[in-house]
Amino acid sequence: MSDKQLHRIPLSRNLAAIIICGSSALLAPEVAAAADWPDGKPITIVVPFSPGGFTDLVARRFAQDLGNELKTTIVVQNKPGASGQIGTALVAREKPDGYNLLITATQHVIYPGLQPNLPYDPKKSFSNVAILAYAPNVLLVPAKSPISNAKEFTAYANKQPGGLAFGSSSVGGSAHMSGELYKMVAGANLRHIPYKGAAPAVTDLIGAQIPAAFLDATSAAAFIRSGDVKALAVTSKDRLPSLPDVPTVAESGYPSYESQAWIGLFGPAGMPTPIVQKLNQIAIDSAHTEANIKWLNDNNATPAKLSPAQVTGFVDAELDKWKAVIDQAHVTVQ
């Protein structure tokens, strides 16, 4: 070994020690924050929608499990308005210390494509923690409709001179976007009829005032079971355990189709990694208890199991996907 090689050994070891010490110093605040958190302090979960909806119900069930696990008080605050933007912006401005969280739904990735000047950046303003539940939409027709599957639905729509009307609960909502994506993938001649909520849309569908609708499976569940409406297909990648006989749109002849509504847990950008990981694990454990799996299935929803990194990838892909659909379908919010 040469003299030069001998001199390199201690230098390399010293450099490695410096790198290790530096990394430890950078991680120390995060580790300390996670070790102390929540230290008996209350945690606030903001739901940017009105009380009583499915997102709110999921949030409150999770809050109970979170409080039991962390042995602290969890306060759920409803901050509705502007399709979820008010409550979402509120959390985006909070300190990233784990004491202010957001539970929101698919609008989180749809509205940025509809309103580009939001008071927050959906890709940069949040720590992506967990997906709490998947709750897909369903393609429905009146009970006495002669249409029995998605292929027949597309063929029938394409015979209508002005396009076949389909209802949804709002403009720019997950159900509406499921319909717009269906138009694109299936090549179906459809036109959207927006309602102010799922209830009036279901009422008109049952009465055959509209020939079809895309609605969230949770709102439609009781009417599907009672036979008041006919479910042609679910929009998710997999069939719902609660509707095993209803195929997916993908199974029905459109394999590239997937429209997944969901409910997710977020925090302000920059939350310490250990806190994000701890919240993620609690969320997964909560969603997969026997009681919560049954409750989700009873509401035509299913639990999720994504890591924080997977949630980030999922959210980013959803943002890009729905922006493309919105642009191609020329969807606007008045």
Q: Model confidence over 93-151: pLDDT tens digits? A: 999 999 999 999 999 999 999 998 899 999 999 999 999 999 999 999 999 999 999 99
Query: Could you give phi then psi for residue 17, rounded to 5 degrees?
Result: -65, -40
d(CA 170, CA 178): 12
Query: Could you give phi then psi for residue 106, rounded to 5 degrees?
Result: -60, -25
pLDDT recorded at residue 30: 56
d(CA 38, CA 327): 43
Query: Which DSSP letter does residue 247 get?
Result: P
Least reliable range by pLDDT among 14-23, 135-144, 205-214: 14-23
Average pLDDT on 163-185 reads: 96
Is there a common fold for 43-134+260-329 and 135-252? yes
Helix (H), strand (E) at residue 90:
helix 85-92
What's the number of CA atoms in the CB half-sphere (13 Å) around residue 142?
13
Structure token pair of residue 109: 């990735």
d(CA 265, CA 197): 24
Structure token pair of residue 213: 């609708």
Average pLDDT on 233-246 reads: 94
Structure token pair of residue 315: 């959210």
Whether 4 shows a pLDDT value over 80: the answer reads no
Name the superfamily (CATH) of residues 135-252. Answer: Periplasmic binding protein-like II (3.40.190.10)
> Comparing C-alpha atoms, which of 214, 227, 215, 66 is closest to residue 153?
214
Reduce the DSSP state of residue 150 to 3 states and report it.
helix
- Give the pLDDT band (50/70/90) at residue 35: confident
Average pLDDT on 9-36 reads: 52
pLDDT recorded at residue 221: 86
Question: What percent of the chain has pLDDT above 90?
Answer: 84
Reduce the DSSP state of residue 248 to 3 states and report it.
strand
Could you identify the residue written with the tokens 């709750």?
Answer: 135
**Global pTM value:** 0.87
| Multiple choice CATH, 43-134+260-329, 3.90.105.10, 3.40.190.150, 2.60.120.40, 3.30.1360.120 | 3.40.190.150
> What residues does each domain of the chain span?
43-134+260-329, 135-252
Structure token pair of residue 193: 């009829």
How deeply is 52 buried, as exposed, middle or buried, from its count of CB atoms within 10 A (0-12, 13-18, 19+)?
exposed
Reduce the DSSP state of residue 180 to 3 states and report it.
helix
Query: Could you give phi then psi for residue 165, rounded to 5 degrees?
Result: -75, 140
How deeply is 23 buried, as exposed, middle or buried, from its count of CB atoms within 10 A (0-12, 13-18, 19+)?
exposed
pLDDT recorded at residue 231: 97
Q: What number of other Cβ atoms are within 10 A of residue 117's Cβ? A: 5
